[in-house]
Amino acid sequence: MNNSPTVLEIDTSAIKHNLRYFKSKIQGTTKLMVVIKAYAYGSDAIAIAKILENQQVDYIAVAYTYEGIALRKANIKLPILILHPQIENFELLIAHDLEPNLYSLRTLNHFIKISNSKYLNAYPIHLKINSGMNRLGFKEKDIENLTSTLQNTKHIKIISYYSHLASSESQNEIEFTNKQISLFTKITDALNTNLFIKPLKHILNTSGIINFPEAQFDMVRLGIGFYGFGNSKLETSRLKNVCNLKTKISQIQTLKKGEAAGYNRRFIADNQTDIGILPIGYADGINRNLSNGKGFVYINKFKVPIIGTICMDITMINLDGIKCKEGDEVIIFNHQDHILDMAKINNTISYQVLTSISQRVRREIV
């Protein structure tokens, strides 16, 4: 059992607040898919999925088949879209009642072959449309081949078409985003006409929900917004931070003037200095770029600088002027601004800060 003082707290009240906020932005008939890939953006996918089952969510999505299998083994019943399934895992995917995104003729033909051999009846699949992101997906030129491939099988059933917006958060890319939406509509309308079907359509991510409400189609996909981040300071201020990373002071060391701390003696005391030793390091997700005065933690609401080089399992902080003792709580982050500050120092984004939190860090639902 992991009783480490280092813990990532997952705030259920924040989750419910964020869900209510985004549900208020979509029409009553619009379905909601929540993306919980990468351990639910670094939190706890199983715990999050259990919460979502009680929050009138229609779908959840993960990146890979093994993520979906873990949810099924935890008795999660919601429909699960696998965003990037691999052909090697198709049989496992079927065995666990997971729904694949088929994004190329190669993946589609392989899945049809397996569904035929297993005599599946209208097994649910999703088709990814490449509307301009140019990662996965079918292009307009594939409509004819798609039509001929799908006309002659009853073993699978298209549940949805979807695409992904490349720059929905950017006011400078509104024209491009509208072109993506138009192309997605054109391709899916053609497929519907050719195949005499009408699956769900979805293209909006978090920023899309905020900036392009007219393109809700039948469903939207909520990702980073669910965890407390909008596409602007204003939108983020309307959300609540879901993940709070905390630890405790293991020991307080007193350095004499001229004494050094940590690897390569990167911190040398200018005068007598108290430093705190924390049981958290880069193996837990604290990036080494935060070393030696670049990053901060928080004790009793005071901003406390990280000193020396962040180690695999240990981080050191400068306690000069901070009233505290061994065993006191230390906040690594418990607000979106803390996470955004860490991201800025690391020249990255909030997503990476969250998903970098190691699985060895204890998770706790609060």
User: What distance in Å separates the CA atoms of residue 6 and residue 297, rounded to the nearest whole number?
Assistant: 13
φ and ψ of 159, to 5 deg: -85, -40
Which CATH number fits the domain that encloses residue 326? 2.40.37.10
Using pLDDT thresholds of 50, 70 and 90, give the confidence band for residue 62: very high
Average pLDDT for the chain: 96
End-to-end CA distance of the chain: 18
The count of domains in the chain is: 2
| Domain contains 234 | no
Nearest by Cα to 189 from 153, 217, 165, 157: 217
* Alpha-carbon torsion (330, 334, 339, 341), positive or negative: negative
Which CATH number fits the domain that encloses residue 199? 3.20.20.10
| Domain contains 179 | yes
pLDDT at 126: 98
Cβ-contact 354, 344 below 8 angstroms: no
Which helix (DSSP H) or strand (DSSP E) does residue 38 occupy? helix 37-42
pLDDT digits (tens, 9 = 90+) for 19-50: 999 999 999 999 999 999 999 999 999 999 99
- Write the CB contacts of 281 (distance below 8 Å, at least 6 apart in sequence): 310, 311, 312, 313, 314, 315
Neighbours of 139 (CB within 10 A): 13
**Where among 203, 229, 255 does a domain terminate?**
229
| Domain contains 87 | yes
Is the pLDDT assigned to residue 148 strictly greater than 80?
Answer: yes
Query: Is 64 a catalytic site residue?
Result: no
| Domain contains 25 | yes
Among 37, 128, 201, 240, the active-site one is 37
**Where among 181, 197, 229 does a domain terminate?**
229
Query: Is 282 a catalytic site residue?
Result: no
Using pLDDT thresholds of 50, 70 and 90, give the confidence band for residue 189: very high
User: Is residue 292 left, alpha or beta, with left meaning phi > 0 and alpha meaning psi from -120 to 50?
Assistant: left
Portion of the chain with pLDDT greater than 90, in percent: 96
Clarify whether residues 98 and 128 are in a common domain: yes
Using pLDDT thresholds of 50, 70 and 90, give the confidence band for residue 152: confident
Clarify whether residues 81 and 186 are in a common domain: yes
User: What distance in Å separates the CA atoms of residue 366 and residue 357, rounded to the nearest whole number?
Assistant: 18
Clarify whether residues 209 and 311 are in a common domain: no
pLDDT at 160: 98
CA-to-CA dists, residue 75 to 10, 51, 260, 266, angstroms: 20, 13, 52, 49
**Where among 206, 229, 252 does a domain terminate?**
229
Clarify whether residues 359 and 248 are in a common domain: yes
pLDDT at 313: 97
Cβ-contact 304, 317 below 8 angstroms: yes
| Domain contains 2 | no
Q: Which residue has the tokens 């962040």?
A: 310
Clarify whether residues 188 and 65 are in a common domain: yes
CA-to-CA dists, residue 199 to 32, 126, 127, angstroms: 15, 9, 10
Is the pLDDT assigned to residue 172 strictly greater than 90?
Answer: no
User: Which residues are bridge partners to 48 per DSSP?
Assistant: none
| Domain contains 7 | no
pLDDT at 260: 95
Clarify whether residues 224 and 247 are in a common domain: no
Clarify whether residues 20 and 116 are in a common domain: yes
Q: Which residue has the tokens 């509208």?
A: 178
Clarify whether residues 215 and 161 are in a common domain: yes
Domain that holds residue 260: 243-365
| Domain contains 84 | yes
Does residue 343 sit in helix, strand or coil?
Answer: helix
Clarify whether residues 108 and 221 are in a common domain: yes
pLDDT at 352: 97
Cβ-contact 220, 33 below 8 angstroms: yes
Clarify whether residues 290 and 262 are in a common domain: yes
| Domain contains 4 | no
Among 118, 154, 263, 303, the active-site one is 263
Cβ-contact 79, 59 below 8 angstroms: yes
Portion of the chain with pLDDT greater than 70, in percent: 100
pLDDT at 110: 97
pLDDT at 274: 97
Does residue 4 sit in helix, strand or coil?
Answer: coil
Cβ-contact 45, 39 below 8 angstroms: yes
Clarify whether residues 304 and 193 are in a common domain: no
pLDDT at 170: 87
User: What distance in Å separates the CA atoms of residue 287 and residue 345, rounded to the nearest whole number?
Assistant: 10
pLDDT digits (tens, 9 = 90+) for 88-124: 999 999 999 999 999 999 999 999 999 999 999 999 9
- Write the CB contacts of 323 (distance below 8 Å, at least 6 apart in sequence): 300
User: What distance in Å separates the CA atoms of residue 56 and residue 236, rounded to the nearest whole number?
Assistant: 23
pLDDT at 136: 97
- Write the CB contacts of 121 (distance below 8 Å, at least 6 apart in sequence): 154, 155
Clarify whether residues 214 and 312 are in a common domain: no
